[in-house]
Amino acid sequence: MLAEVAWNSLLNRKKTVVLTFLSLLVSISVLISVEYIRVQAKDSFNRTVSGVDLIVGAPSGELNLLLYSVFRMGSSTNNIKYESLQVLEQDENVAWAIPISLGDSHKGFRVVGTNGNYFTHFKYGNARALSFDAGGTFDGLFETVLGAEVAKRLNYQLGDEIIIAHGIGRTSFQQHDKTPFTIVGILEPTGTPVDKTVHVSLEAIEAIHLAPGQLVSALNGRAPQLLEPKQITSVLLGLNSKFTTFGLQRQINNYEGDRLMAVLPGVAMARLWELMANVENMLRIIGFLVLIASLFGLATMLLATMNERKAEIAVLRILGASPATVMSLILIEALAISVLALISSTALVSVLAVTMEGWLSENYGLFLSRSVIGSELFVLAGLIIIATLIAAVIPAIEAYQRALHSQLSAK
């Protein structure tokens, strides 16, 4: 019955209630989005690479090396020699090595030059290996394997031919259009940057950078050495034993044949996440401040209407409602607005998440894998409800006191 009264009372003050509701809707949506994206980012971040013990590249920053070799963000300052890969492959501690050669693109998607090890040893998420949705790995020179996102977005099928451009921009003036690539494989979606990658062989990377004349002589077998890889960007290493990680890292850093740097992906990821954690905390704080502002608005709205509700409170008292009942009526009204705003925000953010999923993964590498409704949302909902009750206490106490002192009066 009280809920019915509270609901009708809210309907009676539609305009102020709707405005208060909207302000709460916006602030709760901001909070939910921040929390959702934070969790998703962490998730998507942590599942990007698994089982890689060392990343080797040209000396630059630890984070830079991680960003370009794993996240396909930014670019290397320098390359490393192909011989260094061969030296690493021969090391007794190394189980496998995946070469990565970056610098080209196809319609905004990064092209990675690598070898067959990539498809057998690269792991993501919970140590899951890559698998093919269609086709298989590349054998020939001008063959390519696409990530799931690339194929889906550009609507490519097996057997289609694509042109690879130099540079990583979406439009490139220097297209390697003499050398189209045939799609021989499409990977299953992984929710990692692999989905947005075009994979070719290391030799193919060399081939597309040759002058037309050189390419012809390389292809007809007169100068096959032209296709041999000379430089790569980085190497992902898997070791036989984790215990040798630090020893090998030191050896690589001190290697005299090339200028190399080895980083532990776990350490680099943790450091990168620390940087992001600051931003994330800022966003959360801002989110909560906006919520507090809206709740003050709610309290103000309830308090401001208290004068016009004098008569109503008197009626309730005369009917035998205790002051505590009048107080709970105000609390119910506040809760009703806030719970409605909470439900609407969840719906709103869910819809936004679905519609913006593609855009987020394309532009920010953020893969949304879970629904908005999760344990974080319940924690947040609990906090919002508690905060609402606290904010509503002032108008509720006001109502309580008015109820205590309300008197019958003809005027």
Partner 1 sequence: MSSQNQAEQDTQYAVEMRNVVHNYHKQDQSSVFVFSDWQLNIAEQVFLYGNSGSGKSTILNLLSGILQPESGSISLFGTDIVTLSHRARDRFRANNIGVVFQQFNLIEYLSVAQNIKLAAHFKTNKERTGAITTSEVKSESVQELLEQLKLDKSVMHRKVSELSVGQRQRVAILRAFANSPSLLLVDEPTSALDASARDAFMDMLLNTSESHATAIVFVSHDEALKGHFARHLAMNSLLSQDASGATQRDNNYAG
- The shares of helix, strand and coil residues in the chain, as percent rounded to the nearest 5, are 55, 20, 25
Nearest distance in Å: CB 320, partner 1? 2
Nearer to partner 1, 10 or 183 (CB): 10
Nearest distance in Å: CB 408, partner 1? 5
When asked if residue 328 is in the footprint of partner 1 (CB under 8 A), the reply is no
- Which pair of tokens denotes residue 316? 């309730």
When asked if residue 334 is in the footprint of partner 1 (CB under 8 A), the reply is no
Find the binder of partner 1 among 3, 12, 171, 364 (CB under 8 A): 12
Q: Stretches 8-16, 140-148, 158-166, 195-203: which one binds partner 1 (CB under 8 A)? A: 8-16
Nearest distance in Å: CB 24, partner 1? 22
Find the binder of partner 1 among 111, 200, 215, 314 (CB under 8 A): 314
| Residue 105 near residue 111, CB atoms below 8 Å | yes
When asked if residue 274 is in the footprint of partner 1 (CB under 8 A), the reply is no
Nearer to partner 1, 7 or 359 (CB): 7
Question: What is the rounded distance in angstroms from the CA atom of residue 89 to the CA atom of residue 151?
Answer: 32
Nearest distance in Å: CB 152, partner 1? 54
Find the binder of partner 1 among 38, 110, 317, 402 (CB under 8 A): 317
Kindly report the number of other CB atoms within 10 A of residue 139's CB atom.
9
Nearest of 262, 266, 399, 383 to residue 321 by alpha carbon: 399
| Residue 122 near residue 130, CB atoms below 8 Å | yes
In the three-class reduction of DSSP (H, G, I as helix; E, B as strand; rest coil), residue 74 is classed as coil
3-state secondary structure 217-276: HHHCCCCHHHHCCCEECEEEEEECCHHHHHHHHHHHHCCCCCCCEEECHHHHHHHHHHHH
Amino acid identity of residue 267, one-letter, is V
When asked if residue 410 is in the footprint of partner 1 (CB under 8 A), the reply is yes
When asked if residue 409 is in the footprint of partner 1 (CB under 8 A), the reply is yes
Site residues (CB under 8 A) for partner 1? 1-2, 4-5, 8-9, 11-12, 311-312, 314-323, 325, 406-411
